[in-house]
Every structure is written in structure tokens, then in C-alpha cells.
Structure 1
């Protein structure tokens, strides 16, 4: 069943691992048509999922038969997949691998758990090296070292090198001026890596984090209220706290002496010593913000309209479009690297992008689970946070 759910979720641009999660994602959006079936999918699983989706009447379900234009099967396609062989599962048909792991009891050195955790990414059409990279990031801490080594060999041709994957939920990420990574978890705790101890900051669920000064981290909770972690309260932070108590925010960023907040109407508000600057930049809710202060304040904004825009509070107008996809933006971060400022973007369909200065090619990564936060380190690495893991990737 997982393989069918993942395939439909990819078709619809959402992240879901179970029929209930898929239905929840569909009910949150407008009525639409869902196409199920096709070559490689179990007919009984397709019929079961169709019944679940039709029950609520919010979607139109079309069940398709096998694809007559599907490529001819090759010798060996019907042979059992060796689920304990890391290199073999990366090269095999992902639908068959998923079915094999669903029916298996052996954890195969950690491969089974990793595949079922990251399967929505793995089931996409891609080369074995990318699958190996995704499996690397999803392995449990107690995975067999031989499995790790085999995946590292297979992932050598991927565009990323996995530096580390730390277990634990991530709600928001930020980077201190010195380069240390700030990790906020859903429970309101904050850690400064690599060696920081978790400190409880707020009792409410964290939605976004931003660094205002060397020792001041600002947190936006799920109710749109602002909290300060560390540092000393200033007239600026007190003014923003008071404003968001009356008008909740939906996104947060900070740079130099400016705090930026997004709202549900698509506007961005920049609070600073020079006054308040604001602009209507998106159609729908502002979902993510990022900012850098050097050489001048530069802001990146993201929204439910799928647009990433560049904006300067000192300028005017609606900014310029940096990127546009048919999926809401869920997280942004921009920061200095040895080559210049880089931009990380995360989308609601599970895709992370790294836009590097002076490069037209955009590096992408899909961990499988939904992405909650992204950050660019001072060395140019990409950090990706999910509800299960913090992943650090370095471009090759």
C-alpha cells in the first residue's frame, strides 16, 4: 500500500505515507482528480485506496488499467529482490523493493526502516546514486556499518556528499554570526550545534527561528507570537512582540537591526530603527522569510502561491521572482558562503533546493518525509530538517 500512496502523493505534489495522511492532504485543498493504478501497482491495493478516497466525496478518483506503452520487461525483472543488498535495492524497481520490505520482518541491517521512512523520495524515477544518498540520510543510528559503507560507495556519483544525519525532530533552523547552527524543535526547545544542550524556550510549538544579534534568537510560534531566546530585550523586539500579540505573524526573519514578519494576507513587514516598511508580495499567506545584511539588507520571501521573491525594504514595488513552482514554499534561508550569499528553499512537496551564487544549476534533494526547515552554513553546506532528522549535505 505504501508504494501506491507514495506514487499518488508525488503525482499530487504533497507528502504522505499512509492513506489517512494522503486523504488529509487532499481535504486541505480544492477538489481535484486523482488517478490511481497503472503498471506495477497491486490491483487490490489500488482498489482499497480508491474506496478510502471516494468515501469523503471531495475528490474524483479514476482507476487506470496497466499501461500498454510500458517498457518491455527485462530478464531478471521477476526475480526476487535481495533486500539485504544495499547496492541491489538502489538499482531495482522501487515498487517491487517497497512491496518486498512491506512483507519482510528482517530489518536488513537498517535498510528496511530507511526505505520505508524515505520511500516517497526513493520511489521516484532516479539513478541508483541518488537513491543511495537518500537511504544514507534515512538509516537508523544502529545500522550495520557494512550497509553504510555500501551506500557510501553507491552514492559517490550523487551531486551531494552526506556529512551527517542526526536523529531528532526539527521545527526551525537559523545560523549564528559565528557559523553555529541553531536548531529549534517542535516542543519549544533550542540547541546550538555542535555541542549545545537543549534549553526549553517556549511551551508552544515553534514555527520559525531567526538570529537578531550574536546571542539573540527569535522564535515564532504556531499561533504567530514572537518569543526571544537569549540576549536582552530591546525596544525593537518589544515592539514586534506587542504587534504580533494583536496581529499574528506567519513567517519570520531578521538581519542587522531589522525584524521581518509575514502575514496571512501576503504582506511582509520590516521593523527597524528606520521605521516600518511593508509590501504586498504574495497572493495568499507568506510562509517563509530569509534575510542578509551585507552589503545591504536583502530579503527573500516565500508563499503559498509557490513563489520565492527578492525584496528590499529600501526599494519599492513587489520585488522580483527568484523561483516559482506549483507547490507552497515552506522554508527559506540565505547566508554568506565562500562564493557569496546562497539561498536554500524548501517546498511542500518535499523538495529542497540550493541556489549558489554565480551558478545557474540548482542542486536539489528530497529526503522523503516533509521538510520543516533549511539552512545554508558558512561553508556552503545545506542543512535540511524534518520531524525525524537533521541532515547536512555538502555539494560535491
Structure 2
């Protein structure tokens, strides 16, 4: 982040003097002053509705506010954090656009509202020309849902006399009708026209729909497909076409298109970003269900041949061969008795063991842990599970070979692993802050807490701690880094936080002073491995971006699965496994 800036939703905001605001056009000073007063009044309604007839100046006034409110250095109370011109947009595409601007991985309007509800920062959203939208009705629901949140302000423009204007103003709101003379300074209006004799006040642009579209779904689909230069049944065609047009066409369509429609809408905004057709095909392939036309994977693999990744396997919601294991909240790579396995925790706390070569079931822990945040595998078949309250639970997913014969009779004490886990439990009970992150690291366990401190616990040794983050530690990962030809290693940790930073720390020394990575959104997960080419770090960010960084040569691969990636893990041979609420996918770098 550049010096002199502070972190705020929507990017870096200069902490210096606020830039000057120009006057609005055509004598709209009274209306502009009222909008700024609404923004600055903590007791004002969260919803402001800008209405008026066609050509009344709504769009020009809103453009003035957005233009100034999105500039770097704008004071917090006047800042606009997200805006979407709504002509031609559906509620889904509007949610995708806002999610991209607000660093939220939202695949639907409901997910956008839920993500905003979970983030208490003040957020101001402007939505021009709702009357021209593809789906005004669902957009009204989205507007009302966002405005129902205490910390979210929504300013929406809609033409007077439409059903959507009536729906938006039926409840509590601040309404401004630009047809009313009180919102115009006539003297300044006359002076403005004297200086701009050829300038119109503000035609609102093409007329939006004045009522519901009464065409049947097949008629709408036929019209769209006749006008669109792409084939909704052809993956190569849709990957090369304008993604927003493809999204609208799939939303209108009543057909499944061989499984492409479901995969496209599942992947969401990951497909609408500017990117080569090969990258789009990779995302679409990772979202394709096993009920899809069996010819589609081969076509998508051919289109994706120039992407940075190949898909080794993937399982998505609804798959049955093998079955999708459910939403993924945490991942760990198995070792020892669990070598070649993945330990996977879902949203209900069920911890499954999957075959890393194809995601087939290989067992599960006998008891679920509701509110699971993280899992750690300890090399002897034991698995620790961290719950949302900071408590640790231990189960066994596989039995390790223990001592036999006379050795078994003589060895009646706890094993080294049991002593380690007992030490960890005792240490956690003494911590003043709840534990929020967990990983296993050979003969040690690594914890992160709600205050930003990372703890390394070993049996019979003093714990090592370091304050690495501002706020909650969200992820920890470690690897044994070779430091000599004799095979000596040191533990190297990478940690992620709600503060949007990833930091490196070797517990035998101090942490690096600068973060390895920093962005304006939280870190969901990290994973690290020591490959033949050196250290490789993977980061899952809360806005849906997954990065894989080769730390020795700065090579970077990225992947966006559509929703948030909650979990990452490297397999023994260096492939990256990504877990989301909708899918689990194994990727191999090309």
C-alpha cells in the first residue's frame, strides 16, 4: 500500500486534504447539497431514491456524485464504494459487478447481501437507471436487501411512474424527485445554459422497459440467440464471446445446454473478468458437473491448453461418480498412514478422508465438529479439528502401526504424538485469546489467535510466539525447509490474516519485517510446499482470487473458482487442491 494512505473498502484512500468538488451542471446545486447531506447524516434512511421523468437530469446528477465520490482522497462520508450502471443488467450480473468492486466473491444477490452483512465497514453503493435493467424486479429486491443493513447506504436512480419506483419508495427512504422545482436553482440553471447553449440537461439515455416483459421464455431465448454471435451449446464459442452477453443469454435460457449453463452460472464472476478464452475454459471446466455432456470436457481441455493450469480432477455440487464431498471449509494433506489422502472438513463439521488421486471416499472421523474452522493432520493417523469457539478436538482417521510383542507390554506410556497433543490442549486452555487457525508441522503444532499472534507448540519445549497480524489470524501453513546437504531442516511458516497480509516466519528467528503479500481483502487460506524448483506458496483471498507463487523466481499463477476458496492444500507431488462451497478441484501447473 502506498505511503500516506489508509486501507478502506474500495482501495487506497489518501489521508491528505480532500480534493475540491466542482458544481453540478444545470443549476442542480440544491439537489447536490441534499445528496451530500444524506451521505453525511448518520440518522438518514439507508436508501435514497432519485426519481424524475425522462430527461429530468437524474443521470447527470448521479454521474456528478459518482465521479467525485470515487476519486482518491475523497473524505470517508462522501465516498462511493461501488456503482453499476443498470441498463441491460440482471440482478445476478449486478451482484457480480459490485462484488468485484467491493472485493467480495459473490455468485448471487443473496451471497452479496450476506457478505455485506458480515463486513461492518460503511459501504455506499450507487445504482444508475434501474428502469433500464434486464430484470428490474429482482434488482429492487437486491436494493432493499442491501439497504436493510445498518452500515450500507444505497442510492438508486429510477424513472418516475414505474412499478419499480413505487416499490422502492413504499418504505422508509429519502426520495428526491427532480421534476420538483425545489431541487433546481433557476438563476444558476439559466447561467449554465448561457455558457452551454448546445448542452441538453440530461437525456436519460435509451428508454428502459416500462413494464414487465410479456414475451414467453422461448421467445426471449430465440431472440437472444438470433442476435448473439455465439452458440450456447458450444464451449469454445461461449469462452471466446463477450461474457456479459453470454451470462444474460444463459439466464434467459430454459435449456441446460449440455451442462454448460449450470457450470457458467456456478462459476459466476470468475468468467466475466477480462481474460483469454483459455483461462475462461479452465474455469468453466472446473465448474462442469459429471452429468454434463461427456464430450464437453475434451473440448474445454483443448480450449484451455494455453492456460497456466490443467485440471487433474474436480468434483462439484451434485456429482455422484464419485459423489461430491460437500462444501469444503478446510483441507490437509495426509502423511504417514494417511499418505496419498486428503483430510477434508465441510460446513457441518464432518471430516472426511478422500483419495488424493480422484477424490473417492476413504473414510471419515467418527464424530463431527460443528463450526469447524481448520483441520491438522499429525502423521500417525490422528487429526485435530479446530472449532469456531477456539476449542480443539482430536480424532483418528487411521491407525498407526504401534509396538508389538514384548515392546508393546513394556511401553505403556503415551506416545510422542499423544504428549504433543496433550501439550497443545493445555497451552490452548491458558491462552487469553481464542485460537482461530491451526496446522500440523511434524513434531509441532502451529496456532493462530484472534489477536494476531502465532504460536508454535512442541512437547517438552517452551512455545515460540510472534505477533504477526493486526486482528485475527485466518490461516497458517508450514514446511520443513532444507538447510544443509546432511538433510537438516528448519520450520518455515506462512500465515494469513484478516488484515489482508501474508507473513513469513521461521520460529528459530524473528519474522520478516514486510509481508510476503498484501491486498485489500482478508486471507482465507494458505498452503506451502518445498518442490524441486524451490518454495511454492498458495494464497486464497476472500475476493475469490487464488494465487500460487514460486518464491524463488517470482513466477505467479492465478485461478478464480467463482466463489470464495476456503481451503488449499498441496499434494505430495506438488499439485494444488482448492476447496469452495461448490467444488473441490485439483490443479496442476503447466
**Contact 2:377–2:440 (CA<8 Å) still a contact in 1?**
yes
1:239 aligned residue: 423
Once the two structures are superposed, the pairs formed by residues 198-277 of structure 1 within 5 Å of their partners are 198-230=364-396, 234-245=418-429, 247=431, 248-273=434-459, 274-277=461-464
The equivalent position to 1:31 in structure 2, one of 122, 127, 136, is 122
The equivalent position to 2:333 in structure 1, one of 166, 175, 181, is 175
Length-normalised TM-score, structure 2: 0.61
Shift of 1:235: 2.1
Please give the secondary structure, in 2, of the residue aligned with 1:296.
Answer: strand
Shift of 1:333: 1.2
**Contact 2:373–2:385 (CA<8 Å) still a contact in 1?**
yes
2-structure distance, mates of 1:174, 1:241: 20
Is residue 2:247 matched to residue 1:60? no
Instruction: Rate the CA distance shift 1:175–1:38 in 2: closer, same or farther, 3 A.
Output: farther
**Contact 1:161–1:395 (CA<8 Å) still a contact in 2?**
yes
Is residue 2:358 matched to residue 1:184? no
Name whichever of 372-381 and 233-242 sits farther off.
233-242
2-structure distance, mates of 1:102, 1:38: 21
Length-normalised TM-score, structure 1: 0.90
Shift of 1:80: 6.0
**Contact 2:270–2:561 (CA<8 Å) still a contact in 1?**
yes
Name whichever of 196-205 and 145-154 sits farther off.
196-205
Shift of 1:63: 4.8
Instruction: Rate the CA distance shift 1:192–1:27 in 2: closer, same or farther, 3 A.
Output: closer
Instruction: Rate the CA distance shift 1:63–1:131 in 2: closer, same or farther, 3 A.
Output: farther
Larger Rg: 2
**Contact 1:4–1:41 (CA<8 Å) still a contact in 2?**
no
- Could you tell me which runs of 5 or more consecutive residues in structure 2 were left unpaired when the two chains were aligned: 1-90, 159-202, 206-224, 316-323, 401-414, 482-488
Please give the secondary structure, in 2, of the residue aligned with 1:3.
Answer: helix
Once the two structures are superposed, the pairs formed by residues 345-384 of structure 1 within 5 Å of their partners are 345-384=539-578
Shift of 1:269: 1.0
Instruction: Rate the CA distance shift 1:158–1:271 in 2: closer, same or farther, 3 A.
Output: same
Shift of 1:221: 2.0
**Contact 2:502–2:517 (CA<8 Å) still a contact in 1?**
yes
1-structure distance, mates of 2:269, 2:128: 16
**Contact 2:113–2:146 (CA<8 Å) still a contact in 1?**
yes
1-structure distance, mates of 2:573, 2:128: 45
2-structure distance, mates of 1:163, 1:215: 26
2-structure distance, mates of 1:57, 1:176: 44
Please give the secondary structure, in 1, of the residue aligned with 2:104.
Answer: coil
Name whichever of 205-214 and 101-110 sits farther off.
205-214
Give per-residue Cα distances to partners, 1:198-253, cap 9 Å, x unaligned. Answer: 34343323221222224333221222211223266522211222343564310012
2-structure distance, mates of 1:124, 1:264: 34
Give per-residue Cα distances to partners, 1:132-152, cap 9 Å, x unaligned. Answer: 100100011111122212211
Shift of 1:343: 1.2
Instruction: Rate the CA distance shift 1:319–1:241 in 2: closer, same or farther, 3 A.
Output: farther
Is residue 2:507 matched to residue 1:313? yes
1:71 aligned residue: none
Give the structure with the larger strand fraction.
Answer: 1
Shift of 1:48: 5.0
Instruction: Rate the CA distance shift 1:42–1:105 in 2: closer, same or farther, 3 A.
Output: closer
Once the two structures are superposed, the pairs formed by residues 1-396 of structure 1 within 5 Å of their partners are 1-29=91-119, 30-36=121-127, 42=134, 44=136, 46=139, 48-63=141-156, 78-79=227-228, 81-166=230-315, 167-169=324-326, 170-177=328-335, 180-186=340-346, 187-194=349-356, 196-230=362-396, 234-245=418-429, 247=431, 248-273=434-459, 274-294=461-481, 295-316=489-510, 319-396=513-590
Aligned residues: 389
Please give the secondary structure, in 2, of the residue aligned with 1:368.
Answer: coil
